[in-house]
């Protein structure tokens, strides 16, 4: 059985508070003598200039938080930054602007060549212009392809709520 934990980290749950967040999420699994095989960390509240800080500092902190469970425990980890306040819009047609349908992914052309990133339109907007969400995959030790990650994030848009604390889900 593959278990997956999503850690939803925002400004209230970063840096030194990351360790308690991980331990709180993993408590459920330790009670059952089963730890998650895959961990997806959604990181919010990060600007473009802070991506390297998250990659170099917070990813290491995530791995350090596994130490209490023994050296043999090394789950596969995906760390993704979610940027909601962006100035990017996506239109279907330049001549006659129209919102793209929910599930539209833009993963080339306007993305950053230094990162594995993409824009995802998760919601349907009846009035006004839809704002996509920018996802930047900073760290990925899973064998999940970018296409698979895009589907995973789109699917979880509908199944997860926004929390300031970790939540766990079995989805694989």
- Encode pLDDT of 122-141 as tens digits: 777 777 777 888 888 999 99
Give the whole-number percent of the chain exceeding pLDDT 90.
Answer: 2
- Tracing tokens 């766990």 back to the chain, one arrives at 168
Q: Quick one: how far is CA 110 from the chain centroid?
A: 20
Distance, CA of 83 to CA of 44 (rounded, Å): 6
Q: What is the pLDDT of residue 12?
A: 45
**SS3 of residue 21 by DSSP:** helix
Residue 48 DSSP code: G
Q: What is the pLDDT of residue 165?
A: 44
Judged on CB neighbours under 10 Å (0-12, 13-18, 19+), 28 is middle
- Encode pLDDT of 53-62 as tens digits: 888 888 888 8
CATH numbers and ranges of domains, the chain: 4-169 (3.30.420.10)
Q: Quick one: how far is CA 65 from the chain centroid?
A: 18
Distance, CA of 160 to CA of 104 (rounded, Å): 19
State the Cα torsion 7-148-150-172 to the nearest 10°: -40
The residue that leads in pLDDT, 16 or 83, is 83
What is the average pLDDT score of the chain? Answer: 72
Q: What is the pLDDT of residue 139?
A: 92
**pLDDT interval class at 36 (50, 70, 90):** confident
Residues 103 and 124: beta-carbon distance below 8 Å: no
Which two three-digit tokens encode residue 2? Answer: 């593959």
> 79 pLDDT exceeds 60?
yes
> How distant, in Å, are the alpha carbons of 39, 98, 103 from that of 66?
11, 47, 34
Give the whole-number percent of the chain exceeding pLDDT 70.
Answer: 72
Q: Any idea which of 2-16, 18-32, 108-122 has the lowest mean pLDDT?
A: 2-16
């Amino acid at each position: 059985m593959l278990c997956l934990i999503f850690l939803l980290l925002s400004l209230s749950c970063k840096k030194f508070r990351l360790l308690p967040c991980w331990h709180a999420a993993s408590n459920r699994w330790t009670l059952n003598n089963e730890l998650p095989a895959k961990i997806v960390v959604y990181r919010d509240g990060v600007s473009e200039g802070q991506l390297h800080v998250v990659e170099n500092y917070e990813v290491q902190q995530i791995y350090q938080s596994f130490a209490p469970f023994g050296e043999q425990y090394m789950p596969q980890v995906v760390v993704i930054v979610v940027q909601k306040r962006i100035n990017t819009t996506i239109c279907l047609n330049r001549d006659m602007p129209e919102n793209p349908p929910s599930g539209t992914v833009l993963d080339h052309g306007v993305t950053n060549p230094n990162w594995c990133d993409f824009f995802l339109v998760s919601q349907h907007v009846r009035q006004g212009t839809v704002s996509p969400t920018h996802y930047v995959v900073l760290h990925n030790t899973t064998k999940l392809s970018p296409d698979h990650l895009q589907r995973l994030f789109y699917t979880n848009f509908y199944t997860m709520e926004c929390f300031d604390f970790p939540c766990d889900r079995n989805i694989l």
